Amino acid sequence: MLNIPSQAIAQQVLGVGTDSAKTVPDKLTKHHVGTFAAAGVSAPLVDGCVAWLACQVVPEPHNQATYDLFIATVVGAWADDRVFSNGHWHFDDAPEALRTLHYVAGGQFFVTGASLNI
């Protein structure tokens, strides 16, 4: 499951991403991350995200072992209709807190900015 986080949960994303499951086995509880179920998938969806992609990994042993790269097929998709409708993202009209969050490094993130129509 790929959960696409929003700016509103940036602190939780950083916390969960920083902690190792080897030392913090229940990272979601520690960082107060809520989840909910969706029909047809067993993996939980994370509260505060704006999109969720249920994926099935396509076995590519060479890529996985050599590059730590996993390829997947999307088998289900959901999005928050406050930012996605009619096949398009609508961040310009949405609250800042709902813009998608993109990690760079060292605790730095970018959020989706204004759209550009050409």
Residue 49 lies in a domain: yes
The rounded distance, in Å, linking the Cα atoms of 82 and 60 is 36
Residue 97 lies in a domain: yes
**Whole-model pTM?**
0.88
Q: Give SS3 for 36.
A: strand
Residue 93 lies in a domain: yes
Enclosing domain of residue 52: 2-111
Q: How many domains would you assign to the chain?
A: 1
The rounded distance, in Å, linking the Cα atoms of 100 and 111 is 5
- CATH code, 29: 2.30.110.10
Residue 118 lies in a domain: no
Matching residue, tokens 């409708």: 85
Task: Give me the long-range contacts of 35-42 (CB less than 8 A, separation at least 24).
Answer: 38/76, 38/78, 40/76, 41/1, 41/76
pLDDT tens string 45-94: 999 999 999 999 999 999 999 999 999 999 999 999 999 999 999 998 88
Could you tell me the pLDDT band of residue 116, with boundaries at 50, 70 and 90? confident
